[in-house]
C-alpha cells in the first residue's frame, strides 16, 4: 500500500520557528535554501523530547545513550546492513565526524578527492583537517544522470591522493551511486593504500524502487577501507539537536575511530541522541514512508512546473533527498542566478557556484515544503523570464 503523503505545516506556523531557514530572510521571501524541512516531527520524537523537557532531563550525554544499538537495528531493518554496535561512535554532526576521521587517518598536506558539484562544507572540512582538496568532478549531467569518474579518481590516487570524501547519496544531484561503482571505488582505494569516508546522511531519503548501497556493504574491500558517517538529522529534521554516528567494519578503520579522543564523542547532544533513537525506532518508519511519498510528489511537481513555466531550465528528478539541482544557464542569468532570484523573485535558493565551478548557472531548491509553496516559488521565478 502506498503511504499517504505527509502534509507540511502552514507557512504562518513555520514562520514562528527560530531556525536558520525562517530567520535568515524577511517574511516576503520564500526560503527554499538550507536543508530543513517544513513537516511536523515524527510522533515518537516529539514524545521523547517532551518527556525529557518535563523531567528537566537536560544534562550531559551518558556514555551509552542507546544511539549505537538504535542505528544498528535501523540499518539492518532498512538496508539489510549488519552493523556491529561496538564499531559505532557518536559525535556532534556529520561534518565534525568527517573532520576527525580525516585528521586521525591522514597526515597534514595529504590530498583528499572530492567529486563536485558537491555539498559546500566538504571543501571547508578537508581544510580543517589539515588536508588539501583534489577535485574529480562527477561525469554526466541532467540527461544521462551523474556518476563517479572512476578513471579520474584512479589517476588522482595513482598521483598520491590519500582519501576520497564520498557523498552517498550525492548532494546536490540526488544521485544514488550503484553498488558496482562503489565496489570499484573501494578496489581502487585498496590498491593505492587510500581510505574512503562516506557521508551517508541522505541514505534514509532514497526513494522506493531505487537500490541504495551503504558504502561499507559494497564489497569486502569497502569494509576494509571505508568509514561511514551519518545522522538522523536530515531525514527527520533534527539538525539543531547535534548527533551523528561514525561507523566502521574493517579492523583498521575501527582502530582509527576507537582511537579518537573522548571529547569527540562527548560533543554528542543529549537531545540529539534521544531524538535519533526515536527516529531510528521502528515506530517512526510509517512517518518516514509518508515523508518519502510527499517528497516524491514534490520532485515530480517541480518537473511539471519547470517544463510548463520555465522550459529553458534543466532538471533531473533526484533519486534521494529533497534537494533539486536546477540548471538555469539557458536563461542567460550568469554564473550565480540565485542572487537575481532572491532580489527580484523573493525566493531564497542555494547558489550553484558554492558547490564547485560545475555549479555555475545552477541553483539548488529545497523540495521539503508544501506543494503550494513550491508552486508559488516557481511562479515567482518564472515571472522574471517574462520581464
Let me know if the fold of 11-41+284-385 is the same as that of 47-283.
no
Per-residue tens of pLDDT for the chain, all 387 residues: 689 999 999 999 999 999 999 999 999 999 999 999 999 999 999 999 999 999 999 999 999 999 999 999 999 999 999 999 999 999 999 999 999 999 999 999 999 999 999 999 999 999 999 999 999 999 999 999 999 999 999 999 999 999 999 999 999 999 999 999 999 999 999 999 999 999 999 999 999 999 999 999 999 999 999 999 999 999 999 999 999 999 999 999 999 999 999 999 999 999 999 999 999 999 999 999 999 999 999 999 999 999 999 999 999 999 999 999 999 999 999 999 999 999 999 999 999 999 999 999 999 999 999 999 999 999 999 999 987
* CA angle in degrees (0–180, nearest 5) for 279-273-198: 80
Beta strand segments in 124-257, E: 132-135, 139-141, 145-147, 163-167, 195-199, 226-230, 244-247
Residue 331 exposure: Cα atoms within 13 Å on the Cβ side: 29
Identify the CA nearest to 232 among candidates 49, 371, 26: 49
Is residue 241 within 8 Å of 91, Cβ to Cβ?
Answer: no
Distance CA 7, CA 175 (A): 25
What residue spans define the domains of the chain? 11-41+284-385, 47-283
Please give the CATH number for the structural domain made up of 11-41+284-385.
3.90.1150.10
Q: Which three three-digit cell numbers place residue 316?
A: 533531473
- Do 228 and 247 touch, CB atoms closer than 8 A? yes
Widest distance between CA atoms in the chain: 61
Residue 346 has a CB neighbour count (10 Å cut-off) of 16
CA distances from 49 to 19, 54, 57, 264, 280 (A): 17, 9, 9, 23, 14
- CA pair distance 312, 328, nearest whole angstrom: 7
Query: Taking a C-beta distance cutoff of 8 angstroms, is the pair 212, 182 a contact?
Result: no
For residue 155, give the H/E element and its range. helix 150-158
Contact between 103 and 130 under an 8 Å Cβ cutoff? The reply is yes
Q: Provide the β-strand partners of residue 315.
A: 326
CA distances from 94 to 100, 267, 275, 345 (A): 10, 12, 16, 33
**φ, ψ (nearest 5 deg) of residue 323:** -120, 125
Residue 58 contacts residue 270 (beta carbons within 8 Å): yes
- pTM given for the model: 0.97
What CA–CA distances, in Å, run from 187 to 138, 194, 221?
18, 10, 6
For 47-283, CATH number out of 2.60.450.10, 3.40.640.10, 3.90.1150.10, 1.10.10.10 equals 3.40.640.10
Amino acid at each position: 500500500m502506498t503511504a499517504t503523503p505527509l502534509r507540511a505545516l502552514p507557512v504562518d506556523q513555520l514562520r514562528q520557528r527560530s531556525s536558520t531557514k525562517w530567520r535568515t530572510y524577511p517574511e516576503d521571501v520564500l526560503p527554499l535554501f538550507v536543508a530543513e524541512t517544513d513537516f511536523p516531527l515524527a510522533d515518537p520524537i516529539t514524545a521523547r523530547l517532551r518527556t525529557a523537557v518535563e523531567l528537566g532531563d537536560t544534562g550531559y550525554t551518558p556514555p551509552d545513550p542507546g544511539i549505537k544499538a538504535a542505528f544498528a537495528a535501523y540499518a539492518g531493518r532498512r538496508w539489510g546492513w549488519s552493523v556491529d554496535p561496538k564499531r559505532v561512535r557518536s559525535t556532534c554532526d556529520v561534518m565534525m565526524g568527517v573532520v576527525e576521521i580525516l585528521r586521525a587517518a591522514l597526515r597534514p598536506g595529504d590530498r583528499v578527492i572530492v567529486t563536485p558539484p558537491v555539498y559546500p562544507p566538504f571543501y571547508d572540512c578537508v581544510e580543517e583537517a589539515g588536508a588539501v582538496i583534489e577535485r574529480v568532478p562527477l561525469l554526466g549531467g541532467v540527461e544521462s544522470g551523474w556518476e563517479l569518474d572512476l578513471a579520474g579518481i584512479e589517476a588522482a590516487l595513482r598521483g598520491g591522493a590519500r582519501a576520497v570524501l564520498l557523498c552517498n547519496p550525492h548532494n546536490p544531484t540526488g544521485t544514488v551511486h550503484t553498488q558496482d561503482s562503489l565496489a570499484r571505488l573501494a578496489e581502487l582505494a585498496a590498491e593505492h593504500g587510500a581510505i574512503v569516508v562516506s557521508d551517508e546522511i541522505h541514505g534514509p531519503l532514497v526513494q522506493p524502487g531505487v537500490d541504495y548501497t551503504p558504502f561499507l556493504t559494497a564489497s569486502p574491500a569497502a569494509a576494509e577501507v571505508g568509514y561511514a558517517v551519518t545522522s538522523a538529522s536530515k531525514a527527520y529534521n533534527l539538525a539543531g539537536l547535534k548527533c551523528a554516528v561514525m561507523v566502521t567494519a574493517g579492523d583498521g578503520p575501527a582502530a582509527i575511530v576507537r582511537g579518537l579522543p573522548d571529547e569527540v564523542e562527548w560533543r554528542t547532544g543529549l537531545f540529539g541522541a534521544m531524538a535519533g533513537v526515536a527516529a531510528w525506532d521502528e515506530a517512526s518508519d510509517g512517518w518516514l514512508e509518508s515523508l518519502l511519498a510527499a517528497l516524491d510528489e514534490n520532485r515530480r511537481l517541480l518537473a511539471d512546473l519547470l517544463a510548463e513555466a520555465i522550459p529553458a531550465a534543466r532538471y533531473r528528478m533526484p533519486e534521494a533527498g529533497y534537494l533539486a539541482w536546477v540548471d538555469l544557464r539557458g536563461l542567460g542569468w550568469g554564473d550565480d542566478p540565485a542572487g537575481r532570484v532572491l532580489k527580484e523573485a523573493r525566493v531564497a535558493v542555494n547558489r550553484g557556484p558554492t558547490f564547485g565551478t560545475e555549479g555555475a548557472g545552477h541553483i539548488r531548491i529545497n523540495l521539503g515544503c508544501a506543494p503550494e509553496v513550491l508552486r508559488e516559488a516557481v511562479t515567482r521565478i518564472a515571472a522574471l523570464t517574462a520581464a
